[in-house]
């Protein structure tokens, strides 16, 4: 668990707890690390209620419609309504939409020997659909947060 999340839990800072959880699921939509479930368990043990009442916005429960795009949409909706129903669905959608990445492993590439490296040699990593999604997801979340803060200050 990140230091930021631990501090937010100690201070019972609901907004920062929610932000940290959203960051976790953005960076690991499959929760391969188990950090999300571990954090939720810790929050529950502390008796901290981080959940908003669900705003009754429709949620798609048909797994055939659970896409990466819908995953991003749910993330943006969490910013304004951090309901338990939406978060739990987001975790399910993440596991479904990114299940290929769960089973996909990049082939191990051998690095060139030091004697083979020259000034013209560049070592680059492989590209990942999850990496591209993360950049997109973080951008969506940041934009939604800005809109939310602007609207909040206007009202």
Query: Count of domains in the chain?
Result: 1
pTM of the model: 0.65
Can you give the residue range of the structural domain that contains 44? Answer: 3-101+130-154
- Classify residue 65: in a domain, yes or no: yes
Residue 123 lies in a domain: no
What span, in angstroms and rounded, lies between the C-alpha atoms of 133 and 90?
A: 15
Handedness of CA 149, 31, 66, 132 (dihedral sign): positive
Residue 59 lies in a domain: yes
Residue 112 within any structural domain of the chain:
no
Q: What is the pLDDT of residues 64-108, one digit of tens each?
A: 999 999 999 999 999 999 999 999 999 999 999 998 876 655 444
What CA–CA distance (Å, rounded) separates 63 from 67? 9
Question: Is 16 inside a domain boundary?
Answer: yes
Any domain includes 21: yes
- pLDDT tens for residues 10-23? 999 999 999 999 99
CB within 8 Å of 120: residues ≥ 6 apart: none
Q: Taking the alpha carbons of 91, 94, 100, 103 in that order, is the dihedral positive or negative?
A: negative
């Amino acid at each position: 668990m990140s230091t930021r999340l631990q501090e937010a839990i100690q201070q019972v800072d609901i907004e920062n707890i929610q932000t940290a959880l959203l960051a976790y699921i953005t960076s690991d939509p499959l929760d391969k690390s188990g950090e999300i479930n571990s954090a939720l368990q810790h929050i529950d043990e502390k008796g901290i209620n981080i959940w908003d009442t669900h705003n009754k916005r429709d949620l798609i429960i048909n797994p055939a419609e659970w896409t990466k795009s819908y995953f991003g949409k749910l993330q943006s909706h969490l910013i304004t309504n951090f309901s338990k129903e939406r978060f739990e669905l987001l975790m399910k959608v993440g596991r479904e939409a990114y299940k290929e990445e769960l089973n996909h492993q990049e082939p191990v590439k051998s690095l060139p020997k030091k004697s083979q490296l020259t000034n013209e040699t560049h070592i680059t990593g492989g590209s990942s659909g999850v990496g591209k999604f993360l950049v997109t997801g973080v951008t969506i979340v940041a934009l939604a947060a800005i809109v939310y803060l602007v609207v909040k200050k206007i009202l």
